[in-house]
Homo-oligomer: A and B are copies of this chain.
Amino acid sequence: MRCRKCPKKAIIYMPEHRLALCAACYSPWFLDHTERTIRKFKMFTRRDRILVAVSGGKDSLSLWHALHALGYEADGFYIDLGIMGSDHYSEQSKQRCRELSERIGRRLHIVRVAERVGAPIPEIKDLTAREACSACGLIKRYLMNRYALEADYDVIATGHNLDDEVAVLFSNVLHWNRGYLARQYPVLDEREGLKKKVKPFVYFTEKQTTVYALVNRIAYVRDECPYALGATTLSYKDLLAQLEHQAPGTKRRFLDGFYQIRALFAEPEAAALVPCSRCGQPTTAEVCAYCRLIEHVQRRRGLALAPADVNTSQSSLKQVLVSDSE
């Protein structure tokens, strides 16, 4: 198969766009589409300071690389989950983020869960009743938002792709989770202590972000997180892949159709956000879920902290942050 734009041999065929491209023509197409999504949803401009949540995987590293290539002011933020396993998952992931940071000359901020929460993810998983993915998601959202606030970034960008978004939408629809449906959108505006959050890759498939990483020689961690294996959203992805195979474009239409009617799910009285009495971050409860998690983990570890100590452990994230470019 030949490239649509030049006589070279195509390296990718995208049935949903009926488009074949060669390695040289792929990146410009990919960057152009990224830019279009950013504008369509008014995500950010070249005057904004963007904090990209990087995990070391293909999506988030491609996003960081693409935003930089498009001339945006984008720094990286890596959360060290402390997941070891046979392949030193977290160490390898951090290393891939460092490599890209050096290559594009942008700062990479690193924060360690073990330091902030008092234990790494595998231990938190054993100490709490929560699923590993649920605690991990809570911690990542919290640390990300808090750092963006303290370091004065304008917007947080994450690398969620079309396959991720459609699988989550599918799950939210199967369970008719009205609150989650109301909030599933590629741009969530800043409100009461919650930074603006955007997903510029929401229209790219996993295959497309992978090819961008390969074409641009971005080294990334290929393994899934060991705790995510067998997670239900992965099997939803299989089902959705069958639908897409049968009728290319189904995923995109499903997602775009949802965006059109999403407002129907808005709850008339969304719970008001108030500052957490411990850490000051926005929450709907007296003490936020993150502070309750910390307390629980520390209690279970036998580290009975006096209230003053809790406050200390909640001191500004920026002060204790390990910044690789410093």
Contact = CB atoms under 8 A, between A and B. Distances in A.
B239 A176 contact: no
Classify the interface of chain A: helix, strand, loop or mixed: helix
A86 interface: no
A188 to B, nearest CB: 20
A254 B178 contact: no
A239 B243 CA distance: 9
B174 A250 contact: yes
Nearest to A258: B176
A260 to B, nearest CB: 7
A29 interface: no
B173 A173 contact: yes
A176 B243 contact: no
Contacts of A178: 261
A253 interface: yes
Contacts of A174: 243, 250, 253-254, 257
A253 B177 CA distance: 12
Contacts of A323: none
A235 B265 CA distance: 28
B239 A175 contact: no
A175 B264 contact: no
15 contacts: A174-B243, A174-B253, A174-B254, A174-B257, A175-B254, A175-B257, A176-B254, A176-B257, A176-B260, A235-B246, A239-B239, A239-B242, A239-B243, A264-B264, A264-B265
Interface of A: 173-176, 178, 235, 239, 242-243, 246, 250, 253-254, 257-258, 260-261, 264-265
Given A239-B239, A261-B265, A264-B265, 4 more contacts: A173-B173, A174-B243, A176-B258, A239-B243
